[in-house]
Amino acid sequence: MAYTTIDDPTDYFSIVLYTGNAGTQSITGVGFSPSLVWIKSRNDTNSHYLFDTIRGVHNPLIADHTTAENADTDTLTSFDSDGFSIGDNTGINGSSDTEVVWNWKSGTSFSNDASSTGIGSIDSSGIFSNDAGFSIVSFVGTGSNATVKHGLNSAPALIFFKDRSATKDWFVYHQSYSPATGGKLNLDVNPSSDSTYFQNTATTSSVFSIGSANTVNASSNNMIAYCFAEKKGYSKFGSYVANGNSDNAFVYTGFKPAFVIIKLTSHSGGGWEIVDNKRDGFNGENHRLYANEYAVEGSGNDYDLLSNGFKVRQSGGSQQSGRTNIYMAFAESPFVNSNGVPNNAR
C-alpha cells in the first residue's frame, strides 16, 4: 500500500521566518531554490507579496489587492540555491518587522505551441513538477473560450489566476466548487457561478479551460496561473462542513499539515484564513493571517494541526453549524511514510 508519494515534504514546500533589517539581506534555510515565494509581515500592516521564477525578480503580485504586476527593484532581487535575497522595500523588509515566507518548488521548464502539439487551444509556457503536483503557467489571454496546457500529468485541484497587466481580482478554481464556479482570493466574498469563468468544465490531466471572463482570460493581457494537483501524503484540496461546536470538525488530510488555508463558501463573508506550523509551532497558539487582508497576525487558537489532519477549534463565524469551507493544505510530514512508519502529533 502506498501511503505517500513524498516522504519529505520540505523537498517541495518550506516555511521560513525572518526579521527585516531595512537594508538588504539573503534569506536562507528554505532547503531549495524556490519557484514561488509568498511573503507576509506578521506584526505590520503590509500586504502579501508573491514572486515567482517565471515572472522573474523585482516583480511582485499582491494577494490582497487587485493591482497589476509592478516592477520594484527593492523587493526580491534574486532566487538563490537555499532561498532568496531582498532589498530594502518596507513591505517585505521593514526594520525589525517579523516576516513569514511560504515557499514552493517546481521543476522542469515547458513551452507549448498549441497549434503544433494539439494540446490546448492557445500557447502557454512555464515550469512544472509532477512529483510535487505544482506548475506555474504563463499565457496571453484571448477574451474567448480557450484551453491551456498546464504542464502536469494530473488534473489541478486548485488554480490561482492573476492578470499581470491590469487591475483585476485574483481568481480561484477549486475542485470542491462546481466547474462553473470561481472565487476571489483578494476578497472575503462568496464564490460565484458563471460559465464565462471556466466554461463549466473541470480541469483535465493536460489542460484547464477558461472562458471569456477578464479575470482569467483578458484579451491580449499577460496572465499567470499557479496550478496545484493533489499528491497523497503531501497536499490536499477539499471541503468540510462545520458543526458549530467548540469541539468542531476534524478534517482528515492523510498528513501532518504545515500550512492550511480555509475559506467559507456557503454563507456571506469569511476571509481566506492561513495557519501554519512555524509562526507559533504548537497547538493552542495557531494564529491566523488572511490572504485577502494586510492586517497583522491575529491571536487565539482556531485550528490544531494534527498528525493526520487539522481540527477546528472555533464555533462562531465561518465555523457555525452547517457552514461549508474549502481548504488547501500542504504537509509537514505524511501520516505514514513510504516504509510504513507512522507520524506523531506535535
Exposure class string for 207-217: b at 16+ Cβ within 10 A, else e: bbbbbbbbbbb
Structure confidence at residue 247 as a pLDDT band (50, 70, 90): confident
pLDDT at residue 338 above 80?
no
Distance CA 53, CA 304 (A): 33
Give the mean model confidence (pLDDT) for residues 136-154. Answer: 98
Distance CA 235, CA 233 (A): 6
Q: Is 30 exposed, middle or buried (0-12, 13-18, 19+ CB in 10 A)?
A: buried
Residue with cell 496545484: 228
Q: For 40-61, what is each residue's pLDDT tens digit?
A: 999 999 999 999 999 999 999 9
Break the chain into its structural domains and give their ranges.
Answer: 9-104, 108-228, 235-334
Asked which of 56-65, 129-138, 290-299 is least confident by mean pLDDT, the reply is 290-299
pLDDT of residue 334: 84
Structure confidence at residue 178 as a pLDDT band (50, 70, 90): very high
- Chain centre distance of CA 162: 12
Exposure class string for 96-120: b at 16+ Cβ within 10 A, else e: ebbbbbbbbbbbeebebebeeeebb
Helix (H) or strand (E) holding 327: strand 324-334
pLDDT of residue 196: 97
Give the mean model confidence (pLDDT) for residues 188-215. Answer: 97
- Cβ within 8 Å of residue 235, ≥6 positions away: 132, 133, 228, 229, 328, 329, 330, 331
- Cβ within 8 Å of residue 127, ≥6 positions away: 35, 53, 54, 106, 107, 108, 109, 110, 135, 136, 151
Give the mean model confidence (pLDDT) for residues 82-108. Answer: 98
Query: What is the pTM for the complete model shown?
Result: 0.96
pLDDT at residue 303 above 70?
yes
Pick the CATH number of 108-228 from 2.40.50, 1.10.10, 2.60.40, 2.40.160: 2.60.40
> Which range, 129-138, 259-268, 269-278, 331-340, has the best average confidence (pLDDT)?
129-138
pLDDT of residue 284: 58
Average pLDDT in the chain: 94
Distance CA 215, CA 40 (A): 24
Structure confidence at residue 269 as a pLDDT band (50, 70, 90): confident
